[in-house]
Structure 1
């Protein structure tokens, strides 16, 4: 495939994946308004967030397996279509059970994208180039977070809560069409004869060694996005528009971390697991700082550092690690397994944090961040680095 065409397909994939975060973080941005209008309670917000993460985690395993066999454009376009429709329907503000079901549908639809996207990149580029491009692709997560904050804050302020779901839904449908027009041109290799079945992959010791740190980083990463708006509004008694100025820096720094990932890899001489270990150390220090009553700007900086650190860790476990299985054509399946651990951690965190923040305050959440980071450092230093050497 010509370089120009490959780069165009990569750009569409990048923007499509960015768009799903607009159709995901919009719930976090709208949650204060949903609480104030008595559509949802704090625990229901946590429950809906948890359902999203559980469904997404299970969907990633299923769709990772399917993604090795079905053309990427089918998976991606169908996922964008369902996610777009789910967001549009939530825009009518149904009761709690309706939002719960539609948000679960949105979660499953979004789980259809990453594995197929990984496979697409590995098909349009050679291995080393694909690895480099995937290190850039992970920045789409932070870019989506930034756009979601800007877009949804403006929409809620000018058009109201409903349009915080209607507009992102429309954006997702536009990218569904873009994928149909571009990614459908990618010709994928058939399943390889040495392709490992799922039962063999789940026994792989390489996956076992990073499973728990992957779960713990997911517990931190996605719950920062879910709770940051409510945290600033509750802790510092500020409105949504004012809180947006503080929380905007968090994904901006996360984007910087993701963009710096290729350079960090070179600095660490491709020792990705050491990068993950040091990333968790940053989380420990910043989380402990948040246990103290600090000014909002200090809290913003601390959360930004945590988000940047887990964004870099995410690059290690979800982008670089699955490419180790490209020789057997299992990169999509392994990507799905790793994301299962990631979002299972996020789901557990969402349920736990919804309860403990309601009854014990946000310090309990930050203490949990520090504790799981300590455990992750111990696991990586004792097991993963030892095996890598």
Structure 2
């Protein structure tokens, strides 16, 4: 039986209610975090037009965010398995908001672009305090159908947050300028962090988390409930023995196509079709709207046909490559068609990302490593995103956007090959440590 298919028979009504509330709060928190992460991407054309920085420095700033995010994921993934995940989520939201507001204020300083770079790098670190602890909360606080629903719906918060970020940015850019975007997004993050703290601990007092003791036995309120006696395996033992090596390689390619590409969509549209920054940001809203079903399609494919997250992801890499190839042929027909084709690719990559960063890590909740696995994989993803962020900017500046799209096709093809090769290793290796070993999940 899958970790995501438990029944509700043993859950009291009050616990089910609090689990639902916590699940909703987890989804909203990640959605809000994306509003405060993608505002920079939406503001790049306006900031460049005002002479705040050029495209190369914009790429460096975006890359700085991703580097600090990746480093933070590695650190906070380990911390999430050892500290209070609720506190980490609230702190991450609060200080991400502070950093957004500081970016907005930076224009009043001499050499403002360096202040923007510094604050946006810090925003990257604080943003990294959310995802691994969120997965930990899903694994330990939620049970039954609530856990299943949240695990499925949490990925939809990414495109939802992206839509809200682009819409808010478009409205504020045209009316008040780019500074107002960061003020508004920062204020929203800070306000929600306060709401998070108030609600999380009330729900957590009812939902007693299922924790993993040092002897690898599940405990609830200190009582051994599994009878296991083996020592909890280390992170690198899990990586070496379960096929996660291929997942790590696959998520590097996924990071390039999911986040590296997304960073540059408003600029690509603005440069290729001579649109204003606000218009480019508004058209870019198409991207997350089409992304929205990506996670659900991936889950449906995996549950109905493959029962293997790596096989499902290989198919999605193939769809991404085909979409970019089509973009090379017909992308000049207009900005809307261009964004739709890019969105098909990023939707497929969101689906693969759901497999890599939600479904695969949840398999390891029984050995207390869901947060560590999530943090490590997400760190790898954003390391690739960081490199691609600046690389895409340099390629587009030196050779044009067509060359950048050709590079995306190559990345998608490589991702397809590696992920497909790793599918059989993951199928054999995932059952070594997970608690439920039925292949018919």
Q: What TM-score does the superposition give when structure 1 sets the normalisation length? A: 0.95
Aligned to 1:35: 48
- The 2-side partners of 1:190 and 1:272 are apart by 25
| Aligned pairs (5 A) from 1:121-132 | 121-126=138-143, 130-132=147-149
Q: 1:365 aligns with which of 404, 421, 426?
A: 404
What is the RMSD computed on CA atoms of the aligned residues? 1.8
State the partner residue of 2:253.
216
Distance 2:45 2:397 in 1: 14
| 1:282-361 to 2 correspondences below 5 Å | 282-292=319-329, 293-296=331-334, 297-361=336-400
What is the CA–CA distance in structure 1 between the aligned matches of 2:271 and 2:132, rounded to whole Å? 37
Inter-CA distance 50–105: structure 2 relative to 1 (3 Å threshold) = same
SS in 1 for 2:363: helix
Q: Tell me if structure 1 keeps the 8 A contact 2:252–2:383.
A: yes
Aligned 8 A contact 2:61 2:120 in 1? yes
Aligned counterparts of 1:259 and 1:191: Cα–Cα separation in 2: 30
Query: 1:310-368 CA distances to partner (integer Å, 9 max, x unpaired)?
Result: 01001110010101211111000000011011101101101211111111111122111
- Counting helix residues as a fraction of each chain, which structure ranks higher? 1
Deviation at 1:139, TM superposition (A): 0.8
Are the aligned partners of 2:306 and 2:312 in contact in 1 as well (CA < 8 Å)?
A: no
Mark the runs of 5 or more structure 1 residues left unpaired by the alignment.
none
- Distance of 2:57 and 2:406 partners within structure 1: 23
Partner of 1:227: 264
- The question of whether the paired residues in 2 share the 8 Å contact of 1:215 and 1:342 is answered with yes
Mean CA deviation greater in 265-274 or 277-286: 265-274
**After TM superposition, what 4+ stretches of structure 1 lie above 6 angstroms from structure 2?**
none
8 Å CA contact 2:39, 2:165 repeated in 1 = yes
SS of alignment partner, residue 112 of structure 1: coil
Quote the Cα distance in structure 2 between the aligned partners of 1:22 and 1:182. 21
Aligned residues, how many? 389
Q: Are 2:266 and 2:280, in contact at CA under 8 Å, matched by a contact in 1? A: yes
Aligned match of 1:266: 303
- Contact 1:76 1:116 (C-alpha < 8 Å) held by counterparts: yes
Which residue does the alignment assign to 1:242? 279
Aligned match for 1:98, one of 80, 102, 115: 115
Distance 1:93 1:325 in 2: 43
Match of 2:37 among 10, 24, 27: 24
User: Is 1:290–1:363's contact at 8 Å kept on the other side of the alignment?
Assistant: no
Query: Is 1:46 matched with 2:69?
Result: no
What is the CA distance between 1:132 and its match in structure 2? 4.3
Determine if the alignment matches structure 1 residue 2 to structure 2 residue 15. Answer: yes
1:382 corresponds in structure 2 to 421
Find the counterpart in structure 1 of residue 7 from structure 2. Answer: none
Q: 1:37, 1:240 → 2: CA distance?
A: 11
Q: Secondary structure at the match of 2:129?
A: coil
1:92 counterpart SS class: helix
Q: Which moved more, 1:225-234 or 1:117-126?
A: 117-126
For structure 2, list consecutive stretches of 5 or more residues without a partner in the other structure.
Answer: 1-13, 217-231, 429-441
Q: Do structure 1's residue 113 and structure 2's residue 130 form an aligned pair?
A: yes
Q: Structure 1 residues 175 and 290 mapped into 2: Cα distance closer, same or farther (>3 Å)? A: same
CA distance in 2, matches of 1:176, 1:9: 14
Q: Does 1:136 align with 2:153?
A: yes
**Counterpart in the other structure of 2:200:** 183
How far is 1:248 from its partner?
Answer: 1.2
Aligned-partner SS, 1:2: helix
CA deviation string 1:66-102 (max 9, x = no partner): 0111111210111111101000111113411111110
Q: Offset at 1:65?
A: 0.2
TM-superposition CA deviations, 1:246-295 (whole Å, max 9, x none): 31111001112124443333332533222101101111111112223521
Query: Once the two structures are superposed, what CA deviation does each residue of 1:36-61 show, in whole Å capped at 9, x if it has no partner?
Result: 11111100010011111111111001
Secondary structure at the residue paired with 2:213? Answer: coil
Measured against aligned partners, the alpha-carbon deviations of 1:189-231 in whole angstroms (never above 9, x if no partner) come to 4552133344534544422121111011111111232100000
Question: 1 CA distance for matches of 2:52 and 2:65?
Answer: 18
More deviation, 357-366/34-43: 357-366
- Among 62, 65, 72, which residue is 2:75 paired with? 62
* Contact kept? 1:69, 1:190, Cα under 8 Å: no
TM-score after normalising by structure 2: 0.84
Structure 1 pair 339–256 and aligned structure 2 pair: CA distance change class (3 A): same
Contact 1:247 1:300 in 2 (8 A): yes
